[in-house]
Amino acid sequence: MNNKITFNTIFTTILTCALACVFAVQAHALDGNEILKQVDRNLQPETYEMYRKLINIEPDGTKKEFVLYSVKKGQDKMVALFLSPASEKGRSTLRLNDNMWLYIPNVGKPIRITSLQSVVGGVFNNSDILRLDYSAEYDVTTITDQGETYLLDLKAKTNAIAYDRLSMLVDKKSVTPTTIECFAASGMLIKTLYYKDPKDFGDGLVRPSVLETDSPLYKGYKSVMVYAKVTKKELADEIFSLNYLPRVDELR
């Protein structure tokens, strides 16, 4: 009798622990995706306008700078307009989901571009410049609690996304990224992103004001984005169309 009771007690305990572990894993996975959504909202409002400077730095220290005005609506629409240098002024790019176009004044209709190309050269590609929410493109596969940070492993939702997998280190206090490693489907490291210098942009938005990147594929090269303004802004759907690209400057 005692052996039977002992066996039943042990079995029940094991089963309870196993079920608890399953529920914990499920909750953990859900928490990871919720953290990723919070990362998105802490980096930028869902709909906004933004000014930023993009700097490409070559191994010899030579720099080329671009100033961009950008607007984004929801999780699938973004436009960026070049304000300088003079040679690029008036150019604009449009992203709708995974589709991208470049408009060049006096050239004619917009031309298709890809996520891995770069309209500015340097280490940042078009996907980086026209970035949508991380949670719109990636699912969290694992989350590791590292004390003051979370380590999120992200998997692309489709093969049309620039990076197949991301390894994102998130500061717990601010719930913003500190570093992101970007990998190809082969497992090769394509680039690393570094979020730096938190700044108060107003309206409760405190986020890194600098994004740097380097890549083992471009040894000695570095690119930097400096954010000067990120502000909520109501935007009409018509703005995010090929016909509107010549008029983006009217939004400023």
Name the percent of the chain lying above pLDDT 70. Answer: 88
Burial class (CB in 10 A: 0-12, 13-18, 19+), 186: exposed
Higher pLDDT, residue 104 or 28: 104
Fold exhibited by the domain 41-251: outer membrane lipoprotein receptor (LolB), chain A (2.50.20)
pTM over 0.75: yes
- Asked if pLDDT for residue 26 goes beyond 80, the answer is no
Q: For the stretch 82-94, what's the b/e string if a residue is b when 16 or more beta carbons lie within 10 angstroms of its beta carbon?
A: bbeeeebebbbbb
Over residues 101-144, the pLDDT tens digits come to 999 998 878 999 999 999 999 999 999 999 999 999 999 999 99
Does residue 30 register a pLDDT over 50?
A: no
* Contact indicator for 203, 42 with CB cutoff of 8 Å: no
Domain ranges of the chain: 41-251
Asked if pLDDT for residue 27 goes beyond 50, the answer is no
